[in-house]
Structure 1
Amino acid sequence: MSAIQEGITLNEDKTLSFGNYEVTEKIKITDFNVDGNIYKIRTHNEVTRLSKNGNLLLETVPGATIHNFYVTEKEANFSIEGLGDTLVTLELEPNTNYSLFINDVNIDKIKTNLSGKINFSTTLSKEPQEIKIEKHS
């Protein structure tokens, strides 16, 4: 896989791919419209940040490239690539328990805070990792 040169794209399967951890100058897209939802992306080697309708959806520090990103009521799925130790922040449903899977391995149970955010760290490389965050029923 590779970095998204245009900052963000809508894939044929209706998932989003975004981010470019390889550039030092910021790529900023402010009005990416998908089905009436407005996405904003800011990405470079220090941070990748995706917002939807003004609310944070996902952020990585340092920057990363996200492929095939989608979120439903029950789960979030995407693959991620980058360089080195990376902190990922994702906004989901507030005060809810989730399981974190990296490359199909159940890593941990995570509870979102009152604003719905979870944080986890992973070591990235140019070989994408598959991330799945599944809501407990």
Structure 2
Amino acid sequence: MSVVKELLRGEQNGSISFGDYTLDKKAKLDNFEHGGDIYKVKTFYEITKLEKNGLFVYESVPGSAVTGFTEKENGVSFQVESNKDIQITLELAESTEYAIYVDNEQVGLMETNMSGKLSFSVELPMPPVNVKVVER
């Protein structure tokens, strides 16, 4: 996997891919329509942030490249890559417990706060890792 040079793209399987952690300056793409939703991405080496329909969805610090990002009723799944360890914050259901999996290994159970935010770290750099966050 590599960075998403288009900053944000829709995939044939309905997922989206976004982010370019190699950029020196912040780049953004606004009003990207996919699957009936409007997305916005901001990305560069310090941060990657995704919004859907004006609401927060994903953020990584420092920046990352995400492929195959899929939201389901009970969680999200995606592949992520960066040149450093990253902290990921997701917007999910509020006050709900989620299991976090990295490359199919459960790395923790966490509960979202009252605003539905869930934050966790992924150790990189390495080949892209698969992340899955599933409601318990």
* TM-score interval, normalised by the smaller of the two chains: over 0.9
- Tell me whether 1:131 sits opposite 2:131 in the alignment: yes
* Aligned residue in 1 for 2:119: 119
* Aligned residue in 1 for 2:39: 39
Looking at structure 2, the residues matched to 56 and 89 of structure 1 have their Cα atoms a distance apart, in angstroms, of 10
Looking at structure 2, the residues matched to 55 and 83 of structure 1 have their Cα atoms a distance apart, in angstroms, of 27
Deviations 1:50-106 (A, max 9, x none): 001111100000000001001111121000000112110000001101100000001
* Aligned residue in 2 for 1:9: 9
Looking at structure 2, the residues matched to 125 and 71 of structure 1 have their Cα atoms a distance apart, in angstroms, of 25
Moved over 6 A (4+): none
Give the 3 Å change call, closer, same or farther, for CA 65–91 of structure 1 in structure 2: same
TM-score w.r.t. length of structure 2? 0.97
Aligned residues: 136
Looking at structure 2, the residues matched to 119 and 34 of structure 1 have their Cα atoms a distance apart, in angstroms, of 26
1:117 Cα offset (Å): 0.5
Gaps of 5+ in 1: none
TM-score w.r.t. length of structure 1? 0.96
1:114 Cα offset (Å): 0.6
Letter in 2 for 1:55: L
Is the CA contact 1:83–1:123 (under 8 Å) kept in the aligned structure 2?
no
